[in-house]
């Protein structure tokens, strides 16, 4: 039965994303806050359907750690869930994402209007420079920048080298880095079809200042904060009835 529920949800997700992207494209003339509001409405509906159909919900710890203004959020990346949830969890934002996503009919059209930082992951240092330069512009416009420092989704429990683009952007702008941890990959796994029922835990850590830190040291500090959040989630999951 859970496979059937997952199939219905996945179908809904794909169709609703296309509809939302198409509507956003038709409303290209609208101010960007309206475009983001439409994307947030879609995300809220999607997470509600996920809870009703698949029994998969989420709870958030540490909302009080979100600083005033707009900053840089860095999160672990183990699921498609965390590409939707930030619309609901954070203020207006842009993501760093692979440019191929903009080529998807309807969905990509809507994404373009949200002004993401779309990079060529094979471009090496040029991609990092693109994140920093475009990230500075987005931050100057009052938007949050969301970065998945692992660069791609990984299997829950596994580790991958963190990129330094977030640290470089923070150093260049004086913005804070907010570490975010979650265990979505345990319920909605990377490249997985089945959505398991349960509760996704999200931990928002304390903001980290860039100061005069070396980018590699700052990236390590962010990684340690994200892993500390994951350890907290693991402890919560162990003690939950």
- Domain containing residue 53: 2-239
Helix-strand-coil split of the chain, %, nearest 5: 50, 15, 30
168 C-beta neighbours (distance < 10 Å), count: 19
- Read off the pLDDT of residues 135-182 as tens digits, 9 standing for 90 and up: 999 999 999 999 999 988 888 878 888 999 999 999 999 999 999 999
- Read off the pLDDT of residues 28-60 as tens digits, 9 standing for 90 and up: 778 888 889 999 999 999 999 999 999 999 999
CA separation, residue 163 to residues 122, 129, 168, 206 (Å): 13, 12, 10, 20
0.85 exceeded by the pTM?
yes
Q: Tell me, what's the pLDDT at 92?
A: 94
Count of domains observed in the chain:
1
- Read off the pLDDT of residues 1-12 as tens digits, 9 standing for 90 and up: 998 999 999 999
CA separation, residue 185 to residues 40, 67, 79, 147, 192 (Å): 22, 27, 5, 17, 9
* Bigger pLDDT: 128 vs 176: 176
What is the C-alpha to C-alpha distance for residues 189 and 178, in angstroms, rounded to an integer?
24
Residue 56 belongs to a domain with what CATH number?
3.40.1130
Q: Tell me, what's the pLDDT at 146?
A: 96
59 C-beta neighbours (distance < 10 Å), count: 10
pLDDT > 70: percent of the chain? 96
């Amino acid at each position: 039965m859970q496979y059937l529920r997952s199939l219905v949800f996945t179908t809904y997700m794909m169709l609703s994303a296309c509809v939302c992207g198409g509507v956003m494209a038709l409303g290209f003339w609208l101010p960007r806050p309206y475009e983001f509001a439409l994307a947030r409405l879609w995300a809220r509906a999607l997470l509600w359907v996920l809870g009703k159909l698949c029994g998969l919900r989420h709870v958030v710890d540490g909302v009080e750690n979100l600083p005033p203004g707009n900053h840089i959020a860095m999160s672990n990346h183990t699921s498609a869930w965390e590409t939707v949830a930030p619309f609901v969890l954070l203020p207006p934002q842009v993501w760093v994402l692979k440019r191929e996503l903009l080529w998807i009919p309807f969905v990509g059209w809507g994404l373009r209007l949200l002004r993401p930082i779309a990079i060529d992951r094979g471009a090496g240092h040029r991609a990092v420079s693109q994140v920093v330069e475009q990230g500075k512009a987005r931050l100057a416009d009052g938007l949050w920048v969301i970065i998945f420092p692992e660069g791609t989704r990984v299997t829950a429990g596994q580790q991958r080298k963190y990129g330094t683009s977030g640290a470089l952007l923070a150093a260049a702008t004086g913005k804070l880095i907010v570490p975010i941890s979650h265990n979505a990959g345990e319920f909605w796994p990377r490249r997985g079809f089945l959505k398991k029922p349960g509760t996704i835990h999200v931990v928002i850590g304390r903001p980290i200042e860039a100061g005069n830190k070396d980018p590699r040291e700052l990236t390590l500090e962010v990684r340690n904060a994200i892993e500390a959040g994951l350890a907290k989630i693991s402890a919560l999951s162990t003690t939950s009835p």
